[in-house]
Every structure is written in structure tokens, then in C-alpha cells.
Amino acid sequence: MHEILLKTAPQSETQENWALFLDFDGTLVDIVERPDAVFVDPALPKVLAELETRLGGALAVISGRPIAFLDARLGEHRFDIAGLHGLEHRIGGHLFLCDPDDHPRLREMVDRLQTVFRPKPGILIEDKGCSVAIHWRLAPIERDFVHATVHAALEALGSDYRVQFGKAVAEILPSAAGKGKVIEKFLQQAPYRGRRPVFIGDDLTDENGFRTVNAMGGFSVRIGAGETVAHERLGSPAELRHSLSVWAEGGSFPFQGGN
């Protein structure tokens, strides 16, 4: 019965037939100098919850942050969500976490990186358990040193791990992780299955997700500057939040090329 309903659901002619995937930092909220000091517009959780209803539940936040960090900033509602670039996700209230104990070589490397970067006060190490992000936003002069150290770390770790560069950040994560892959995983399940994906992001890490939704006949939006394969560009997170709130209140799909 459920299957039949899904198969006969209206296709992309209707604006409600989107599955919406949203990055967090730089997309829904502004990038800040210290990654733990992010400010969430108080109206945002409600707008996202309304949009989720409008989209039949097909809305998920897709971030490099841990799910616990995102939950703590998105109010009481538990959104579908992917954290750590897809290493962990929650769909329909079912949580699939990554276990740091499965990554002993990475754990050892995190200890070594802490030691290497300790004398550099502007470099922040964000230990996410199954991945580690090294931020140099407060010490731009250290960029080359971070790059060289990260490449040496990767050589030691081998092909099970890769580096993901973002805005003044380098993250070492399992090679299997990626926003495109987790978006595909969501799209195999209700209520996402059969819907047309739209992914909105702001960074190099999101280009992988843009390519995935583009290849599936979906739509992609990049926030801010930078070379991109996305279909459309918006200037800032504030501009996106405005578009999403208009959409949530009953407006049509807020991006030009998507219909």
C-alpha cells in the first residue's frame, strides 16, 4: 500500500515534490572565526520544520559537523540529518553513528596532530571522533604548514583516509565519507525516494553533493563566491534563510532554474 502511494506520487511538476538537502555552516548560518561560536537565527528551526512538513518530511541537514553539535543548535525538533560528511546520519528518528573505535590509526594520528599543532595557538583542532578538522582561520600564515602536515599525515594513514579542504580548514576523514554518497542513501528511502533532490551548500565539500544531485536530474545552489558546478548562486546565508522562509510560508520553489 505504502509502495503504491509512493509510485503514484506526483513527479517533479509540483513544487512539493522536492527532497531538500541543506548544508549548515556558510549555508544556513554564517561562518565564524571559532567554529564552536556559530550563531543560529532564532527563527531558523521553525522555518525548517515548516518546510519539512510542506515537503512531506523530505528535508535533511547535511553537514561536516557532528549530529550532536547540530541538534544542540536546531531547537527541540529532531530533523533528519547527516553529520561528519555522512559518516553518521539519522532518518525517521533512527540514528546511525560512526564508532571512533573503528578508526584506531586515525585516533593515534589525532594525538600526534595535537602535539604538532600545540605550539601554534591560532590553529584549532576539532576532534570529531571519526574525523579531525584543522582550522587555521585565526592563523592564515600557517596555511602552508597545515597543508604540509596534513599531507604527511595522509601518507602515513594510507588510502582508507582522505583530506577534504574547506574554508581555512583541512579535514582528515575516512575515504568512504562524502555528502554525495549520503544524499544518495537518503534518496533510497521514504520519504525521499522518488523525489527530485535539491542540495544547497557553500563550500568545496559541497561540490561533491552538487554533482550527485545534478547527475540525478536535481537542482543545486551554491551560497557565496567560488567556482562551482551548482545551477544557481545566492549571495549569503541570510538571503537563503529569507528564500526558505518564503517557501515555507506557501511560496513557490524559490530558485529560478528549478521548475
State the minimum distance, in angstroms, from the CB of residue 244 to Mg ion: 15
Find, among 182, 40, 5, the residue nearest to 98 by Cα: 182
Total residue count of the chain as it appears in this document: 259
Binding region for Mg ion (CB under 5 A) out of 17-25, 35-43, 168-176, 186-194: 17-25
Residue closest to Mg ion when measured from CB atoms? 26
State the minimum distance, in angstroms, from the CB of residue 117 to Mg ion: 23
Tell me whether residue 23 is one of the annotated catalytic residues. Answer: yes
User: Between 54 and 179, whose beta carbon lies closer to Mg ion?
Assistant: 179
User: Between 29 and 47, whose beta carbon lies closer to Mg ion?
Assistant: 29
Q: How does DSSP classify residue 135?
A: E
Q: How many CB atoms lie within 10 A of CB 247?
A: 21
What residue type is 72 in one-letter code? A
Please, are residues 240 and 234 in contact by the beta-carbon 8 Å criterion? yes
Subset of residues 185 to 224 that bind Mg ion, contact rule: CB under 5 A: 202-203
Cell numbers for 103: 578508526
Subset of residues 25 to 84 that bind Mg ion, contact rule: CB under 5 A: 25-26
Please, are residues 17 and 258 in contact by the beta-carbon 8 Å criterion? no
Using only C-alpha atoms, the chain has a radius of gyration, in whole angstroms, of: 19
Binding region for Mg ion (CB under 5 A) out of 7-15, 16-24, 79-87, 127-135: 16-24
Q: Which residues contact Mg ion by CB under 5 A?
A: 23, 25-26, 202-203
Catalytically active residues, by annotation: 23
